[in-house]
Structure 1
Amino acid sequence: MEQHQVPRNISGFQFHLIGDMTLRQFLYVASGGALAYFIFRFAPFPSIINLSIAGLVGFVGFAFAFLPIQERPLDKWIVAFVKSIYSPTQYLWQKEGNMPDILLKQATIHVKPASKNQIENHKYAKEKLRSYLATLPSTPHETLNERERKYVEKTLSLFKNELVLPSVPSSTQSSYVSLTSLSKMNQNLPISSSSQANSNANPALQKDFAGLAHARVTTTPPQDRIISYPAPPPPHSIPSEVKPAREIPTIINNFGRTPEIVPNQQINDSYKEQEAMQKKLSEMTSEKDALLKQLDNLKRELETAEKPNIIRPSNSTETRRGPTIKTITGKAEIINELGLPNLPQTPNLIIGVIKDSQKKFLPNIIITVKDNKGMPLRAFKTNKLGQFASATPLSNGTFNLEIEDPLKRYIFDIAQITLSGKIFLPIEIIAKGEREILREKLSKEIFGNPNI
């Protein structure tokens, strides 16, 4: 299939008659240029003002032609702006007193009366439905409802007789509280119009559905049942002459049995058993704690017995000597031998070189300058010639130089320097290898002096 072009707005299409410009664009550019030339040539102002006004007018004509905003030219924006200012922005609705004609016309509804055949067919269908429902057997839920109804009637019959307790001799008379049924309240309530309409329904429909099994509405009002309960007696002992009524045991026997009373001997025995169990539990916990303590002691003894002798590695730095500093004098010969540049003329600048025991330069060694409190102040890194230098001077005082080899090949002592506001001479720091460490260790073991 051939691909079709994107649909375009044909009604607003304009032909490019003059080069790549449409006729409207050409008119805007030409009018703007002509007006700018006229202002520049004939306006009665200084040449600077005429030139600025003419440039502004020419730019406006160019903008109207070639600078749209949101794909809409500036002339349409100006027209929309003027219309929005002069058109109303708020509309009010006022209701008229005249009714519409469509509401005044009376609607006529034509009801077609039912034919005799439709009425006879409807009656025949009702008779068939009635005969079919009469042949259906009783469903299980109806028998269940019958059992429930009997059970409810049986429980309500228990409350027909009033429960009367004999009077107890006391200072206050017992008061009775009666609960009346809601039938009296329902008699006083107004009957809704819907219930009246249902009562005055078509008797023919009631006759049609008389054989169906459904809930029937009883017209006889329910009888009032009064259940009298005595008020609670005062908290004192009841005399032995008072005998309980006979109605109370019957109700208790109907609803459930009274709980058996446990004798005091059984309660005491159970308490004794609980106390014995608690004693056994406390003894077991104490034995458990003692066993745990013994187990901890055995573990500690095993650890101390099996702990091997710790052999310090050859490159251990636990026993360090004091800082060793070699100050390089300001002689040019020594400076040239060490490969250092000229001495700095600013006081308190640190400069130095790091070598190994064979006088070889050590590159990429990290030097950290710390004060007496251990706060780092400067950090350097040696170049390929093992040199390091600080760019800014330090204050007067004593500082420690901690040196570290990233490759863990050499070990360095902590160098301590003192700055006093004078030109600081370069220092030379010698690294320690495995050979030097073994030599110090042997000399210390043999002679008690680390220096041989």
Structure 2
Amino acid sequence: MPVQQHPIPQNVTSYQFRLVGDMTLKQFLQLAAGIVIGLVIYATPLPSFFKWPLISIIVGLGAAIAFVPVQGRPLDQWIVAFIRSIYAPTIYVWQKPNNQQPSLNQAPTSITQALQSSPPTSPSPTATQPQTSKIERPNLVPQIHTLTRATPPTPNPTPPPQPEPLIPTSQDIKKSAKNVFASPPKPIAVTPQSHQNTNHQSTQSSSKPAPTTSTATVSDTPAQPGTSASFSTDLPIPSTPQTPNTIVGMTLSPQGKILESVIVEILKNGQTIRATKSNKLGQFLFAKPLDDGIFQITADKDGFTFPRFDLKLDGQIIPPIKLQATGTK
């Protein structure tokens, strides 16, 4: 079914019939009235110096009323509004009316007159009030006392004693140390053969230099060196970094497939300074550039093992890094 074009609705109440072009019937009558009044003035025996200016004013006024609007309103509305404003009052004075309401002028009828005018009535018998018996409330206090005495108090169950943890105190440690040091050392029997062996060992030890003992603790030992990071410009990275020391890369499986949601960490001196996770395409990015130095890169994902990669930064643009797993767990 084709869509039909509906006519644009128009305001029927304010419709005006048009004679020629945009000139309405009202405008035609206003212009004709000015011309007719001008012809009437022309037919009067008035002097020409007074007649012609008056004719031009009347005809021009009729044309202005018909065709010249002022601020969107016809000139005849301005003339009518001007005449109304001249004769309309501008000051309003309020005066209190003197007439009062008739209900306020009536005098109130007294109650004594109405009582006197009413006929006497026979005295009505007094209504006997019903006698109400008092309801006494029983005293329940003795019963409550007896109930409280009869019910024995429920004993609160005490929790079972918990065994104290066997933690050695400082006094026990001191006593054990005293016992250890108080025990005398056992004598060792020295034979001539063992004496010769000890002399032979002492000569060999004096000929060899004594090894240096390391006193460094476990926390001071450097981290185990990892494999050097592998760079690849063939990785599908959307945009390579343009600022130095900015790290981007991709995480891959041992078969070279994309691995997503791999946690990538950057460590320096054994402490994690940056961490991120690869997206669904296996891509990761550290937007903030790093300082110059030696860093370690670790990757972690359930079911896969990654080696630790070493990276040295010296203020140059770094190509994308390939983090490939070495096996599965």
Q: TM-score, normalised by structure 2?
A: 0.31
* Structure with bigger RCO (C-alpha 8 Å, 6+ apart): 2
* More strand as a share of residues: 2
* More helix as a share of residues: 1
Q: TM-score, normalised by structure 1?
A: 0.23
